[in-house]
Amino acid sequence: MTEQYEVIVCGGGMVGAATACALAHGGIKVALLERFNPERQWPPEPIDIRVSALTKASQNILQQLGAWPGMVQRGVCPYRDMRVWDARADGELHFDCADTAFNELGHLVENRVTVAALWDQLDKLPSATCMTPATVVAMQLNDNGRQLRLQDGRLLEAELVIAADGRDSTLRSMVGIDVTGWDYHQDGLVATVSTELSHQSTAWQRFLDEGPLAFLPLQNGQCSIVWTLSSETAKNYLALSDQDFLLVLEQASGGILGKMLAVGPRGAFPLRFQYANRYVDQRFALCGDAAHAMHPLAGQGVNAGLLDAAALAELVIQTKREKRPLSSTRYLRRYERWRKGDNLMMMASMDALNKTYRVTALPWVSLRSAGMNGVNKLAPVKAYFNRYAMGLRDDLPKLANGQDCW
């Protein structure tokens, strides 16, 4: 027997779970499929190595979805300042929440915290069905919608399928949507570290020749590091003893947080620039990393994905409210127009920044340093960048503005 839904979301990570949650709030009969059972509980320590900086816009979305209190209960850490500087010259940028209308610039949150809080919310919403473990192995288009076959043989059908199954999206390949992109030949090395000096609720980022090194504040006083390195260096650094790793890290930090005292498990993630050439197809839409993967240097990947989730859910709910069929491609095209340009702009900015800081020729270093200091001194320009980094820009979906869309 085939189980029927209005919408099926494949991928129960941060973006897929947020999409399903928004749709279920809107009364849409939605199934969320995830191949791995997400963790809901864990001991307070150690902090997981996968941590994301969430913008104000993302916080608004998660608040509207009812997930934010569950996240606060599990642990989030506000950051009030952001300091970015160039290891090769005197270029420096300083963003301070005192220059904004908010008490913080954003929050550092373990990815598993966001996922668990969203799944908790989904459990409370009568029109949501969560299936895990559930791996999609086949999909076909028929007269009624799209039919999905799971690894265990179950058949599901929906008027619309949303793929939020990550950068290597299986569903995107099944539909035949091509991607454009390239490998950076860089990895993001991540770990949790204890430092001699307090992080002062500040996100620190030092641009080095191989890529930026970020120290991101955590609620227990430790820092989560994201260190962009050539893939070869990352491999070598993963193989170092803890003691040797702390020494190279301390040197790379420029001593900004004093001595590096301890490090937990380390991991490295290969970085890619990649976007799907189309976000939509018949009865099909992509969101999150399945649609776009970007360099993590400004921590914007999942923030962009949550904006996709909010925009797509808003349009699906509106289409249903207006009694138009979910098979219509009109609202899907609108979703693509709404999100693709914004995402490409963000991706191109991250890519340009990454390239700018890999050049070591002296005239170029002086120029970029002067640019950084110029932005730092020009209050209106700085305020623009600050708002952009906080996710507060024009044309946001309602959820990102702190309003509901159902």
Q: Could you tell me the smallest distance in angstroms from the CB atom of residue 229 to ligand FAD?
A: 11
Q: Could you tell me the smallest distance in angstroms from the CB atom of residue 10 to ligand FAD?
A: 5
Applying CB under 6 A, which of residues 288, 297, 311, 335 lies at the interface with ligand FAD?
288
5: β partners: 158
Cβ atoms of 348 and 405 within 8 Å: the answer is no
Q: Could you tell me the smallest distance in angstroms from the CB atom of residue 404 to ligand FAD?
A: 22
Q: Could you tell me the smallest distance in angstroms from the CB atom of residue 214 to ligand FAD?
A: 8
405 Cβ contact partners less than 8 Å away, ≥ 6 residues apart: 22, 26, 310, 313, 314, 317, 318, 397, 398, 399
Beta strands in 168-207 (DSSP E): 179-195, 202-207
| Closest CA relative to residue 75, chosen from 218, 197, 189, 184 | 218
Segment 221-260, which members bind ligand FAD (CB under 6 A)?
Answer: 226
Q: Which is nearer to ligand FAD, 151 or 236 (CB)?
A: 151
Q: Could you tell me the smallest distance in angstroms from the CB atom of residue 228 to ligand FAD?
A: 8
Max Cα distance, the chain (Å):
68
Segment 169-228, which members bind ligand FAD (CB under 6 A)?
Answer: 170, 188, 190, 226
Q: Which is nearer to ligand FAD, 27 or 267 (CB)?
A: 267
Applying CB under 6 A, which of residues 289, 314, 336, 342 lies at the interface with ligand FAD?
289
Q: Please, is 196 exposed, middle or buried when counting C-beta atoms within 10 Å of its C-beta (0-12, 13-18, 19+)? A: exposed
Segment 109-168, which members bind ligand FAD (CB under 6 A)?
Answer: 134-136, 164-166
Q: Could you tell me the smallest distance in angstroms from the CB atom of residue 175 to ligand FAD?
A: 13
Q: State yes or no: residue 36 binds ligand FAD (CB under 6 A).
A: yes
Q: State the number of binding residues for ligand FAD (CB under 6 A).
A: 33
17 Cβ contact partners less than 8 Å away, ≥ 6 residues apart: 32, 38, 115, 118, 119, 122
Applying CB under 6 A, which of residues 145, 299, 391, 397 lies at the interface with ligand FAD?
299
Q: Which is nearer to ligand FAD, 132 or 366 (CB)?
A: 132
Cβ atoms of 141 and 159 within 8 Å: the answer is no
Q: Which is nearer to ligand FAD, 135 or 366 (CB)?
A: 135
User: Which listed range, 68-76, 82-90, 297-305, 360-368, lies at the site for ligand FAD (CB under 6 A)?
Assistant: 297-305
Burial 317-354 (b: 16+ CB within 10 A, else e): bbbbeeeeebeeeebbebbbebbbebbeebbebbbebb
Going by the DSSP 8-state scheme, the letter that residue 38 receives in this structure is: P
Going by the DSSP 8-state scheme, the letter that residue 132 receives in this structure is: S
Helices 56-64 and 301-321, axial angle in degrees (round to 10): 40
User: Which listed range, 27-35, 77-85, 232-240, 369-377, lies at the site for ligand FAD (CB under 6 A)?
Assistant: 27-35
Q: State yes or no: residue 286 binds ligand FAD (CB under 6 A).
A: no
Q: Which is nearer to ligand FAD, 213 or 320 (CB)?
A: 213
- How far is the CA of 202 from the CAs of 71, 244, 280, 334, 379, in angstroms? 20, 26, 39, 38, 20
Residues that bind ligand FAD (CB under 6 A): 10-16, 33-36, 52-53, 134-136, 164-166, 170, 188, 190, 226, 269, 288-289, 296, 299-303, 305
